[in-house]
Structure 1
Amino acid sequence: MRLMLLGGSTITPALVLLWYIYSRDQFPEPRALRLKTFLLGLFCCFPALVVRATVEQSFPELTTPGALSTAWWRALFSLAIPQELLKFLLLYLYARRNPAFNEPLDGVIYGATISLGFATLENMTYVGEFNMDIAVVRALLAVPVQAATGVVMGAYVGREHFTEDPFQSLSFLARGLGGAILLNALFNASLLTHQVSFASLAIAVNALGLCWAWRLFKALREEQDRLFHVLKLREERQAADDRDGPPSAPEPEIAWAAVPREPPRELSWWALTKLVLGGVGLSICGLLWLGTLQLFCEEFQRNGLGGALLSALFGVLFVDLVPTWLFWSLFRSGLRGPFVPSTVS
């Protein structure tokens, strides 16, 4: 039961965040590649766990709780550096080399996918190491911060992929990997002190990471919106030429630079509020469905298949379906707006 609850508290938030990021992509990535990237992110958690165990066995003084400096070095060398380096290598050597990686925003898509796959399995390991309370707290806080590190890393890798200047390219890679390591280390160090006064810093780090990731994501989304609009006008012009015949004199290519562009739009605060409420509600509903499954298993052991089916049917009809539909509708409504003009320059 404990493992099932942890699974619901980690997998559901990760899927909700991925759902939002994918929905904002004007040029969707191949589903098979996204699934492979998510699974590779999940499995790269295993070598990170091996590195963590090796470092902590080699330097047992790092595991002493309470001291902030000790927690910082432990978070940096046993968690942040190996975790983010593995995710960076997967993003840079695998996802970036795929032909589908053809615009800067793709770095965000695949970076977030890798990080959320990694977070899903990493948080499950905390059920055996700590108590359920710590595991659930990490599930609620670590999933967003892992998404933030993936977006930050992916945004800079996406920029680097389309940069010809070698020095600027190196700068983008350093900022992406370094920023992800810094966020990861600050977040985990605040939790590894096992003190409430320091652990509260994890919320501040979470907010800082999400704000940073949001600004990068928003800027790349604006660029994609403009590109999408220009391509749409180009297709409309081509369709008109095919219908009416080519113009007598072809327009110079530079004329497209003066094409009036629709101002990019972003979700309003009300839409974002609906997204957050819907996402949190769907995460809770994931626990309700897992609870119904657990009830079915218990009733099956006690009363056989008939009693188990009756209990499960009652749980699905009166506990699971209605709130899931309501929160799913709220989340979908948030994706549809309202929209406001973007403030990104």
Structure 2
Amino acid sequence: MLLFSVLVAAVAPGLALLTYFYLKDRYDYEPLHMILRVFLMGILIVLPVMIIQRGMMLWLGDNPYLESILISGGVEEFVKWFVIYHIIYNHTEFDEPYDGILYSVAVSLGFATVENVLYAIAGNASVSAMFLRALLPVSGHAMFAVIMGYYMGKAKFIDDEKKKRWYLTLSLVLPFFWHALYDVIMNTMVNHWLWFIAPLMAGLWYGAVGKITRANNRSPFRFVKREEEVKL
């Protein structure tokens, strides 16, 4: 019974956050089957990511900074970015800037949910530990995804090729930077990590809310919906 409760606590944060971001789509809800497919992609990339990370650890050795910056933040964000760019970026359902955020979050939360379940099984974690992980790593994955998806959305709907490449670069580099910083704090600070991670997460959430609003405000469906409301 305890194991079941822990597993539920491991899965619930990812689904709750995915629901939150899905409902934040103000003008054109994405098909649920697409969201679930992308969430499943996030689940499926866990194994190849783990294999790559294991190989890099054997190659680079046991260094907490390299592990935080390259092995964890670098590999995970690159693989998620690769999936979004090559599978979702040119998809017909990616038809407004907010979709970049939503699909990036779906991939990241699929990944984070499996990561959470594996932690719960391997570490004999408690429900309280799962609550803390919901506030930190699971939420962190979502925040990095918001940044990735926001800039992918900007790149998708701009005609200037130079700016398009710049935004695509930011969609990879910025999530990598924040993920690496998060992992450096968690992996190298033993006693005072909370004093650094709490303001970091607060800042990421504050930035995410602004990005959600700005992405929705650039939706091509915004004026269509207003016209429909006026007619009613």
Q: TM-score, normalised by structure 1?
A: 0.61
Contact 2:68 2:183 in 1 (8 A): yes
For residues 75 and 199 of structure 1, the distance between their equivalents in structure 2, rounded to whole angstroms, comes to 17
**Partner SS state of residue 29, structure 2:** coil
Matches within 5 A, 1:1-345: 3-25=3-25, 26-62=27-63, 71-127=64-120, 130=123, 132=125, 136=130, 137-193=132-188, 195-198=190-193, 200-224=195-219, 227-232=220-225, 234=227
Larger radius of gyration: 1
For residues 229 and 186 of structure 2, the distance between their equivalents in structure 1, rounded to whole angstroms, comes to 55
Q: Summarize deviations over 1:29-88 as a string: whole Å, max 9, x none.
A: 1111111000001111111111121122223331xxxxxxxx332111111111001110
- Name the structure 2 match of 1:323: none
Contact 2:185 2:197 in 1 (8 A): yes
In structure 2, list runs of 5 or more residues that go unmatched: none
For residues 193 and 22 of structure 1, the distance between their equivalents in structure 2, rounded to whole angstroms, comes to 35
For residues 163 and 46 of structure 1, the distance between their equivalents in structure 2, rounded to whole angstroms, comes to 35
Contact 1:72 1:189 in 2 (8 A): yes
Contact 2:153 2:215 in 1 (8 A): no
Contact 2:68 2:180 in 1 (8 A): yes
For residues 53 and 2 of structure 1, the distance between their equivalents in structure 2, rounded to whole angstroms, comes to 31
Percent identity over paired residues = 26
- Structure having greater relative contact order (Cα 8 Å, sep ≥ 6): 2
Q: Summarize deviations over 1:268-296 as a string: whole Å, max 9, x none.
A: xxxxxxxxxxxxxxxxxxxxxxxxxxxxx
Contact 1:9 1:140 in 2 (8 A): no
Contact 2:97 2:218 in 1 (8 A): no
For residues 183 and 123 of structure 2, the distance between their equivalents in structure 1, rounded to whole angstroms, comes to 14
For residues 222 and 95 of structure 2, the distance between their equivalents in structure 1, rounded to whole angstroms, comes to 17
The letter for the 2-side match of 1:142 is P
Q: TM-score, normalised by structure 2?
A: 0.88
Contact 1:148 1:213 in 2 (8 A): yes
1:102 offset after TM fit, Å?
A: 0.7
In structure 1, list runs of 5 or more residues that go unmatched: 63-70, 241-345
For residues 170 and 158 of structure 2, the distance between their equivalents in structure 1, rounded to whole angstroms, comes to 14
**Partner SS state of residue 61, structure 1:** coil
The letter for the 2-side match of 1:192 is N
For residues 2 and 189 of structure 1, the distance between their equivalents in structure 2, rounded to whole angstroms, comes to 32
